[in-house]
Structure 1
Amino acid sequence: MLTIHARLVDAMIAQALNDHPVETCGIIAGPAGSNWPLRLIPMRNAAQSDNFFQFDPQQQLQVWKEMSARCEEPVVIYHSHTSSQAYPRRSDVELATEPQAHYVIIPTQHLYQAEIRSFRIADQMVIEERVRIVRQYQPELELQMVA
């Protein structure tokens, strides 16, 4: 299950609606090994396509180096689908290289009802998972982050 703060969900949806009809993309980083999405990093869709996304390679290299230096990892990898349901396409599955990440898809074909869906993708297998949107993370997470 993906537990994610409502502000992060709102930010992903706003980015997706702003970039529409081009697919949007980005990541949400969190402390390595924590499974807590904390820091949203919008990425540039180098493909500039309405049915495919690809991180800009230079930006991706820079972001991954920065995450490494901060002891973070990509907890969520997100993108939008502008004219199809929020389910991973074959290309999404083939390009999924972070088996520990939650792959979130935001459908924007009906701009007034963008609801996110989350999937785990590993070894070409797709498993949908529940999404729990919270207004506050649990106190034990905040204590872990201070330590």
Structure 2
Amino acid sequence: MGVVLQIRRDLVDAMVAHARRDHPDEACGVIAGPEGADRPERFIPMLNAARSPTFYEFDSTDLLRLYRDMESRDEVPVVIYHSHTATEAYPSRTDISYASEPDAHYVLVSTRDPEVHELRSFRIVEGVVTEEPVEVVESYRFAHTGPDDVPEN
């Protein structure tokens, strides 16, 4: 389990744009990545089935379809994100109780300020919330470690 979330700027921009677009309702989605790599790659915005400014819920059919698709691509949910529209970017009691992916980075984007967004990342394991630093990068330097490394995007 990493101690920092390293994520590309284009993925951060996509999460923030989704959160702004769905405001005043909470936005939600997943960024999938290669199994075992802890590297977010594929942005997948989801529909907030609750259509609420204070709560988000993935549609169960959409979620099943997403997990089947990720499995077929050997991907996992590296980032699970949602927005808070009137409060800080910190997991609510409901967010904590619904967190079921111990290896995922739970990213929250607050859109309470129309000018500036707040983005924070957390690990949520068995009800324990641990904030982690976020490093926004233009591209991922290396996918592997070793003498035959090659840069990847």
**Which TM-score band (shorter chain)?**
over 0.9
Instruction: Tell me the SS of whatever aligns to 1:118.
Output: strand
**Residue type at the aligned position of 1:7:** D
User: Structure 1, unaligned stretches of length 5 or more?
Assistant: none
1:22 aligns to what? 25
* Aligned-partner Cα distance in 1 for 2:118–2:55: 19
Q: Give the TM-score taking structure 2 as reference length.
A: 0.91
Instruction: Tell me the SS of whatever aligns to 1:15.
Output: helix
* Aligned-partner Cα distance in 1 for 2:86–2:42: 28
Residues 81-100 of structure 1 aligned to structure 2 (within 5 Å): 81-100=84-103
Q: Which runs of 4+ in 1 moved over 4 A?
A: 141-145
1:39 aligns to what? 42
Q: Give the TM-score taking structure 1 as reference length.
A: 0.95
Matched, 1:115 2:118: yes
CA deviation vs aligned residue, 1:21-63 (integer Å, no higher than 9, x gap): 0000000000011100000000010000001000011100000
CA deviation vs aligned residue, 1:46-102 (integer Å, no higher than 9, x gap): 000001000011100000000001000000000000001110000000000000000
**Residue type at the aligned position of 1:52:** F
Instruction: Tell me the SS of whatever aligns to 1:73.
Output: strand
Cα root mean square deviation, aligned:
1.6
Return closer, same or farther for 1:53/1:19 CA change in 2, 3 Å cut-off: same
Instruction: Tell me the SS of whatever aligns to 2:65.
Output: helix
Matched, 1:8 2:11: yes
> Percent identity among equivalent residues?
48
CA deviation vs aligned residue, 1:101-129 (integer Å, no higher than 9, x gap): 00000000102111210000001000000
Residue 143 of structure 1 and its aligned partner are, at CA, apart by: 4.4
Q: Greater helix percent: which structure?
A: 1
